Amino acid sequence: MKILAAVDFSTATECILRAAKTYAQTLDAEVYLVHVEPPEAVSRKHNPDETVRNVKTESVRLMKNAKALQRTGVKAIPVILQGAVSKTLLAEAERLEADLIIAGMHGHGFVRNRLVGSATEDILRQSKVPVLLIPKKD
């Protein structure tokens, strides 16, 4: 079994990692920790050196998260991608043949998006596999 855990380093990340660990141990699954860097985040950074530093920082953080899961006996694989968040996560879930997606709930904007956010809403609507939503930690 394969679990895709969407990691954005928000306040929900710790809870996402905890859920991924629990499900992986219970279901004997491997976990793919996937971080997607949206293109607008890269285009806002005019300094290429700063962009490289940020990607390196995120890579290190993701690797640390994967190693923490591995120490508990969970097979965890870190993956960093760039693209539109929901589209990229769904494509990766399909490529991996993931059985479950774990994502954070944090939104902004209209009332409907207050609970889940637009990227998460897109994932919920378009995913071919179950999606477990984890609320952000205050």
Distance, in Å, from the CA atom of 39 to the CA atom of 52, rounded to the nearest integer, reads 14
**Residues 6+ positions from 99 with CB-CB distance below 8 Å:** 1, 2, 3, 29, 129, 130
What pLDDT is stored for residue 117 in this prediction? 57
What pLDDT is stored for residue 111 in this prediction? 43
pTM: 0.84
CA 99, distance to chain mean position in Å, is 15
CA 1, distance to chain mean position in Å, is 17
Taking residues 43-58, what's their average pLDDT?
63
**Cβ atoms within 10 Å, residue 136:** 16
- Residue with the bigger pLDDT between 91 and 12: it is 91
What pLDDT is stored for residue 37 in this prediction? 87
Please provide residue 44's backbone torsions phi and psi, each rounded to the nearest 5 degrees.
-70, -25
| Half-sphere exposure of residue 62: CA atoms within 13 angstroms, side-chain side | 22
What pLDDT is stored for residue 109 in this prediction? 46
Domains and CATH numbers, the chain: 2-135 (3.40.50.620)
> And the tokens for 135?
């609320």
